[in-house]
Amino acid sequence: VHKLTVTNLGETFDAAEDETMLDALLRNGVRVRYGCRRGKCSSCKHLVVDGDYDNSAASAYALLEDEREAGMTLLCQSYPTSDCTVELLIAPGDEDGVRLPTPQRHDGRITEVIEESTQLLSIRLALSTPLRFLPGQYLELGSRGAEETRSYSIASAPMFVRRPQLLVHRRAGGWLSPATGAEAVDVRGPFGAMYLRPSGRRAVLVAWTEGVAPMASIARYLGMRPWSAPVTLLHGAAEAEELAYSAEFAAIAARTSGFEYLPVAGTERVMTLALNEAIAPGEDVDVYVAGPVGFCDRTLFILEARGIEPTHIYLERFYPAGAAT
């Protein structure tokens, strides 16, 4: 066990050698900027001012050579090999007043698999211990005892602490297909920072196909609890049948004042037109985007070109598991 000191906090935590610096900080309830936990998004890039660590798994793409030489690292890919001192590059304070739940390990079983479309499966888990999460966060799942994991956003509302639902894109050769009933899984979480912020600004949720999973959690939450600002869900997919939970979202919109549902079946270009209609140029709005990496990157580009404040844009890019490139 090594000591991990965070200069901005003036606090020191224990970190095991087989634990990444990110996991050690999250385990200790530290609010730290991060995203994918797979060495792909670069969100967890912070400065190590002292100490030795192994970050050989961080790719040259996500952590540039000169950044590495300057002491920057990806905390999700860094294992301490001595006591270390870290400076978090965004002040770690509780800037939006939301306390992030500490990730836990849960024993789970897959209890139900529903085909929403030829591509999308709803999967229900039964957990041995309650899962506290914020709508929009994600889980990591693996077969019981296996090291390899997959990330899935939680689609159900946070009130259902023992039976979370996932929305999974079925992939050839993928881990969950063919999904078997009653399979034992290890579940870790919740993770992620794409949760609905109580900023008082209008929020627009933008999702493509399986990217609607975290938005489903948010929409279902809004269907049960009043929210302080209007929320629009812009939900796109190539075919109408791939707009999972569409009827349910429409029903929530019909009974929930301040919640608007805009389904779009068609090309991404049609989605862009709908996005430009949903958000005025330079509007003071929070935008949440989730789905395939290319879709998120293109949407970010459009939003920035539209003059949306970059710090009010929250992305959950659905990176594939596997080696970072």
Ligand X SMILES: Cc1cc2nc3c(=O)[nH]c(=O)nc-3n(C[C@H](O)[C@H](O)[C@H](O)COP(=O)(O)OP(=O)(O)OC[C@H]3O[C@@H](n4cnc5c(N)ncnc54)[C@H](O)[C@@H]3O)c2cc1C
For ligand FES, the binding residues (CB under 6 A) are 34-37, 39-44, 62, 74, 76
Asked if 213 interacts with ligand X (CB under 6 A), we say yes
Assess 116 for contact with ligand X (CB under 6 A). no
Rounded to a whole number of angstroms, the distance between the first and last alpha carbons of the chain is: 30
Residue 142 sits in the site that holds ligand X (CB under 6 A): no
Pick what 62 binds: ligand FES, ligand X, none; C-beta below 5 to 8 Å, kind-dependent. Answer: ligand FES
- Nearer to ligand FES by Cβ, of 34 and 261: the residue is 34
CA atoms within a 13 Å half-sphere pointing along the CA-CB vector of 241? 7
Residues 6+ apart with CB under 8 A from 194: 136, 137, 214, 288, 290, 314, 315, 316
User: Phi, psi (5° rounding) for residue 281?
Assistant: -55, 130
- Interaction between residue 175 and ligand X (CB under 6 A): yes
Residue with smaller CB distance to ligand X, 9 or 149: 149
Tell me which of 79, 152, 245, 249 binds ligand X, using CB under 6 A: 152
Which residue carries 């779009």 as its tokens?
Answer: 264
Q: Please name the residues in contact with 238: beta carbons below 8 A apart, sequence gap of 6 or more.
A: 209, 265, 266, 267
Partner whose binding site includes residue 176, from ligand FES, ligand X, none (CB under 5 to 8 Å by kind): ligand X
Choosing from 27, 124, 150, 163, the residue that interacts with ligand X (CB under 6 A) is 150
Count of alpha carbons within 13 angstroms of residue 232, beta-carbon side: 17
Residue showing tokens 């709908």: 274
Tell me if 321 contacts ligand X by CB under 6 A: yes
How near is the Cβ of 260 to ligand X at its closest, in Å? 23
DSSP secondary structure string, 8-72? Answer: TTTEEEEE-TTS-HHHHHHHTT-------SSSSS-TTEEEEEES-EE-TTS-TTTS-HHHHHTTE
Distance, in Å, from the CA atom of 193 to the CA atom of 305, rounded to the nearest integer, reads 23
Tell me which residue of 197, 201, 144, 202 sits closest to 175, measured CA to CA: 144
Site string for ligand X, 40-79 (x = CB under 6 A): ----------------------------------------
CB of 264 to ligand FES, least distance (A): 29
Separation CA 85–CA 170 (nearest Å) = 42
Short-list 155, 280, 284, CA closest to 207: 155
Closest to ligand X by CB, 25 or 154: 154
Q: Number of residues interacting with ligand X: please give it, by CB under 6 A.
A: 25
Q: Does 167 bind ligand X (CB under 6 A)?
A: yes
| Among candidate residues 176, 211, 174, the one with its CA nearest the CA of residue 194 | 211
| 42, 119, 122, 151: which one binds ligand X (CB under 6 A) | 151
Interaction between residue 245 and ligand X (CB under 6 A) = no
**Please, which residue, 80 or 214, has the CB nearer to ligand X?**
214
Q: What, of ligand X, ligand FES, none, does residue 321 touch, CB below 5 to 8 Å by kind? A: ligand X
Q: Which residue of 10, 97, 145, 173 would you call a contact of ligand X, by CB under 6 A?
A: 173
| 144 touches ligand X (CB under 6 A) | no
Of residues 18-47, which lie at the interface with ligand X (CB under 6 A)?
36
- Strand (E) or helix (H) holding 302: helix 293-305
* Token pair in block for residue 185: 């899984």
Q: Applying CB under 6 A, which residues contact ligand X?
A: 36, 138, 150-153, 166-169, 171, 173-176, 192, 210, 213, 292, 316, 318-322
